């Protein structure tokens, strides 16, 4: 249960931060964000901000999304029953599409509507004076709201605030902003994990950390900060060399360590201890890598770890072309849940570090040039810049649907593969 909760929290944080990037730069670009949702499924809470965005919390804690004006169809259908609320200028300010009996407003049967350019709605309404149904046309206020069947109240999407009305470079920034936010989150999370875990690993030095007072190194007199300059006469310049030499002593025999402490050389004899703490049995003396604990190193770790993780992901992607495609190189929702469950038992620092790694993965995955993802949208933005005219919306919708179908199929296949690995 704990693993599920951790997975849902991590996933929601990553997606909400991602979507906030789209939201923020869409607002800066003059694009109306009709809804900013946290979670999926039925709405349980909504708040209407003065900037026109409806913020909602939905019942299923599975990420979130933003709805940009013009990205989805919002026109009314002929014959649809709605209730209209008029303002003091006799313009429509609310269109309630709910089918509930207690909906207030002027009952209206839609014949046709244009909530994009003309901002008007035509239909039949009962005239009390004439005692019959008459056809009327109402002008719709630019900032009018439409209430969906589940009660969510959203602004309509006039042409001037739609995504497709923005210039290509503004749309590109909006699409790139989501992955950018994930990269920014990764930098911050990696730095925070360094603070939480007591510093940054420094593999370039032969200084060591003595982490367990009950292990042979501590009992022999070694202290955290000691530099192991030689093991059984073999010189060591960094931690990897120290570990490599010690790993060759898997027979349990006593090793001689030459240690530099406070500028003086000392010699310690340590007999490795057998342990099964990491699966198969091994001999250990109880030392680990040295940690740099200065604030500068911990802050810079956010950038260096983000870079290293990014390079590793691109190397994995490159291996699909050089070494062949393999599902073992990809983790789906089930695989991520399994990793999250393990991290939940390893401390807050490890959990924050995992959040950073997943955030980078989400950023890079979204930047892949696949229709439906941010990378695919950016390609369309660049094509628009080259052609000097927007891609037809119907063509963009078709390409997006093809990409979405491909992604859904990939998620299903990867999920099945992850489940099979658990058994």
How many CB atoms lie under 10 A from the CB of residue 287? Answer: 25
Measured between alpha carbons, how far is 392 from 394 in angstroms, rounded to an integer? 6
Read off the tokens for 31: 């694009």
Give the Cα separation of 220 and 268 in Å (integer).
7
Query: From CA 368, how far away is CA 56, in angstroms rounded?
Result: 29
Cβ contact 366:179 at 8 Å: yes
Annotated active-site residue in 19, 35, 384, 396 = 19
The rounded distance, in Å, linking the Cα atoms of 123 and 382 is: 42
Q: Are 376 and 403 in contact (CB under 8 A)?
A: yes
19 tagged catalytic: yes
- Cα 397 to Cα 7, 41, 83, 404, distances in angstroms: 32, 23, 31, 10
CB 42 within 8 A of CB 59: yes
As given in the structure block, the two tokens for residue 59 are 């019942």
Six token digits for residue 49: 């901000």
DSSP 329: G
Assign 127 to helix, strand or coil.
strand
Q: How far is CA 172 from CA 60, 108, 211, 341, 382, in A?
A: 30, 40, 49, 36, 8
Q: What six digits make up the tokens of 227?
A: 């530099």
Residue 208 burial by CB count (10 A; 0-12/13-18/19+): exposed, middle or buried? buried
Catalytically active residues, by annotation: 19
């Amino acid at each position: 249960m704990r693993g599920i909760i951790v997975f849902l929290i991590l996933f929601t944080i990553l997606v909400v931060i991602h979507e906030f990037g789209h939201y923020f730069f869409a607002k800066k670009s003059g694009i109306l964000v009709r809804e900013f949702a946290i979670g999926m499924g039925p709405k349980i809470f909504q708040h209407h901000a003065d900037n026109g965005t409806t913020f909602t919390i939905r019942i299923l804690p599975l990420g979130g999304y933003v709805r940009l004006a013009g990205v989805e169809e919002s026109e009314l259908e002929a014959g649809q029953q709605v209730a209209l609320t008029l303002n003091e200028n006799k313009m429509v300010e609310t269109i309630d599409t709910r089918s509930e009996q207690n909906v207030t407003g002027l009952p209206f049967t839609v014949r046709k509507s244009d909530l994009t350019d003309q901002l008007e709605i035509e239909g039949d309404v009962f005239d009390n004076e004439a005692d019959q149904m008459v056809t009327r046309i109402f002008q719709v206020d630019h900032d009018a709201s439409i209430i969906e069947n589940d009660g969510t109240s959203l602004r309509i999407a006039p042409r001037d605030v739609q995504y497709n009305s923005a210039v290509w470079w503004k749309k590109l920034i909006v699409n790139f902003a989501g992955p950018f936010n994930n990269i920014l989150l990764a930098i911050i999370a990696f730095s925070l994990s360094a603070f939480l875990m007591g510093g940054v690993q420094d593999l370039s030095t032969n200084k060591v950390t003595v982490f367990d007072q009950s292990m042979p190194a501590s009992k022999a007199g070694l202290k955290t900060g000691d530099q192991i300059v030689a093991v059984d006469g073999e010189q060591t310049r960094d931690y990897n060399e120290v570990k490599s030499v010690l790993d060759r002593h898997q027979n349990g025999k006593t090793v001689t360590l030459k240690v530099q402490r406070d500028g003086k050389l000392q010699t310690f004899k340590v007999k490795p201890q057998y342990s099964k703490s990491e699966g198969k049995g091994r001999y250990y003396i109880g030392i680990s890598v040295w940690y740099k604990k200065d604030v500068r190193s911990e802050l810079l770790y956010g950038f260096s770890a983000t870079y290293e993780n990014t390079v590793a992901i691109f190397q994995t992607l490159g291996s699909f072309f050089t070494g062949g495609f393999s599902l073992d190189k990809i983790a789906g929702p089930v695989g991520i849940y399994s990793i999250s469950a393990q991290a939940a038992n390893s401390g807050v620092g490890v959990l924050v570090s995992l959040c950073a790694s997943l955030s980078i993965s989400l950023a890079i995955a979204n930047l892949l040039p696949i229709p439906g993802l941010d990378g695919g949208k950016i390609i369309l933005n660049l094509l628009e810049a080259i052609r000097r005219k927007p891609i037809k919306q119907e063509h963009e919708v078709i390409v997006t649907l093809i990409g979405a179908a491909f992604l859904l199929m990939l998620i299903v296949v990867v999920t099945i593969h992850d489940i099979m690995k658990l058994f």
